[in-house]
């Protein structure tokens, strides 16, 4: 009887441990390195957006983990669709950037000059640590087409019901052709051709430990819609100067010396 009671207690403690660290949700991911940008001239340049998404898309989600190395400058760009404004000023653009030293921002528009699009913000409780952003877009929703989540919690939404034309490429760590460089770490970036749900936002955040979005786990059910997944070095360190895309092959080149670092969420 005493032995059975001891075993039962041990099993209960193991279950409690798994529940507290997310280990029982099936989403565990080995994460050894992230990508560090110096804020001066380095950046990451991927291929065209239509390698990842449809030429015209009406749903998508974007996930990005980030941590600054120094106090972020206003406007520091972490990720941008169509950075060189291919197609002219009436083309689409998506920008994820630092609005202030403790607030990040999203601009999501199908027409840079003609349509205001969605502008959303997220205030950071810990701007010096690792944080996670998830953007979701569903042009078919009756309202609140664009939503922004910080660390699993929705921080705002906006109406922007126009489909997006996949013009230009995807860039990390700077704005346009060479301004507003980001000084800090990026990790585990992903794009889906689906609008993830609020429950999925919680599961992708996974209490601050990136999940393996290649498979479904917990409330996350969109692995089949994953179109690009950049591990930010886990498959390239230490020999390659590029970052592989696990899904669509939209790999990106590290330009001017960005480096892999062992600082991860």
pLDDT at 239 exceeding the cut of 90: no
Q: Do residues 188 and 31 make contact, with C-beta atoms less than 8 angstroms apart?
A: yes
All domains of the chain in start order, with CATH: 33-261 (2.60.120.200)
H or E segment to which residue 150 belongs:
strand 146-150
pLDDT at 127 exceeding the cut of 60: yes
pLDDT at residue number 17: 36
Q: What is the 3-state secondary structure of 171-201?
A: EECCECCCECCCEEEEEEEEEECCCCCHHHH
Tell me the per-residue pLDDT of 51-88, one tens digit each, with 9 for 90 and over: 999 999 999 999 999 999 999 999 999 999 999 999 99
Residue indicated by tokens 């199908």: 110
First to last CA, the chain: 43
Model confidence at 114, in pLDDT bands (50, 70, 90)?
Answer: confident
Mean pLDDT of 173-201: 97
Mean pLDDT of 102-125: 94
> Coil, strand, or helix at residue 34?
strand
| DSSP track, 38-93 | ESSS-EEEEEEHHHHS-SEESEEEEEEEEEESSPPPTT-EEEEESTT-TT-TTS-E
> Coil, strand, or helix at residue 260?
strand
DSSP single-letter state for residue 137? E
- The structure's pTM equals 0.90
Mean pLDDT of 235-246: 86
């Amino acid at each position: 009887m005493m032995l059975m009671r001891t075993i039962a207690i041990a099993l209960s403690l193991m279950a409690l441990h798994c529940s507290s660290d997310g280990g029982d949700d099936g989403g565990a991911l080995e994460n050894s390195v992230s990508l560090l940008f110096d804020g001066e001239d380095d950046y990451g340049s991927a291929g065209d957006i239509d390698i990842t998404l449809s030429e015209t898309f009406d749903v998508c989600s974007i996930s990005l983990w980030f941590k600054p190395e120094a106090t972020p400058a206003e406007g520091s760009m972490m990720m941008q669709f169509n950075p060189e404004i291919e197609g002219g000023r009436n083309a689409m653009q998506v920008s994820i950037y630092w609005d202030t030293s403790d607030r990040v921002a999203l601009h999501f528009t199908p027409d840079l000059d003609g349509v205001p699009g969605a502008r959303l913000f997220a205030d950071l409780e810990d701007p010096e640590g690792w944080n996670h952003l998830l953007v979701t877009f569903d042009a078919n929703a009756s309202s609140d087409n664009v939503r922004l989540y910080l660390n699993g919690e929705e921080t705002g939404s906006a109406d922007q019901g126009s489909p997006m034309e996949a013009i230009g490429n995807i860039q990390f760590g700077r704005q346009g052709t060479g301004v507003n460089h980001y000084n800090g770490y990026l990790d585990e970036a992903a794009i889906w051709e689906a609008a993830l749900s609020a429950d999925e936002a919680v599961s992708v955040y996974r209490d601050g430990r990136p999940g393996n979005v290649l498979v479904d786990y917990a409330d996350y059910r969109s692995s089949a819609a994953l179109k690009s997944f950049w591990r930010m070095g886990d498959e390239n360190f230490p020999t390659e100067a590029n970052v592989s895309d696990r899904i669509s092959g939209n790999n990106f080149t590290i330009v001017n010396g960005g480096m892999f670092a062992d600082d991860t969420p």
